[in-house]
Amino acid sequence: MPKFSNVVRCQVKPDAHEAFMAAFDDGPSYPGLQSQFVIKTGEHTYCSCGIWESEEALVAARPQMIGFLDTIRGLLVELSPELGLTDPVSGTVIYEEGLS
């Protein structure tokens, strides 16, 4: 069964970086989530990335992920009126190479 991934882009308020990262450190665990990492893409912009064992595991975790988002909404800046606070995408992992 192919793995599945989600990526969520967001912008954090200038004074909220530490609280944002602490939220991930203290955040929930999700059944089926194999790996999670946060990429700093700019001064205040980030992408949270997850690798899931399946699309079904990601779909099942969405309510819990939305609950987590609710705890950090106050740390985020609206990306645009159309997007709101986050720009999420997800899809099937079609290439993976384990390098060590």
Total domains in the chain come to 1
> What domain range is 75 assigned to?
4-92
In-domain check, residue 85: yes
- The tens digit of pLDDT for each residue in 8-62 reads 999 999 999 999 999 999 989 999 999 999 999 999 999 999 999 999 999 999 9
Predicted TM-score (pTM) of this structure: 0.91
In-domain check, residue 99: no
In-domain check, residue 97: no
What mean pLDDT is predicted for residues 80-99?
94
Residue 4, CA atoms < 13 Å, CB-side half-sphere? 17
Q: What is the pLDDT of residue 48?
A: 97
**CATH number of the domain bearing residue 72:** 3.30.70.100
Q: What is the pLDDT of residue 40?
A: 98
Query: By three-state DSSP, how is residue 19 classified?
Result: helix
In-domain check, residue 62: yes
- Which tokens hold the place of 11? 């912008």
In-domain check, residue 98: no
In-domain check, residue 80: yes
Which distant-in-sequence residues (6+ apart) come within 8 Å of 93 by Cβ?
Answer: 2, 3, 4, 5, 51
- pLDDT at residue 97 greater than cutoff 80: yes
In-domain check, residue 87: yes
Query: By three-state DSSP, how is residue 8 classified?
Result: strand
Work out the number of other CB atoms within 10 angstroms of the CB of residue 33. 17
H or E element that contains 61: helix 55-72
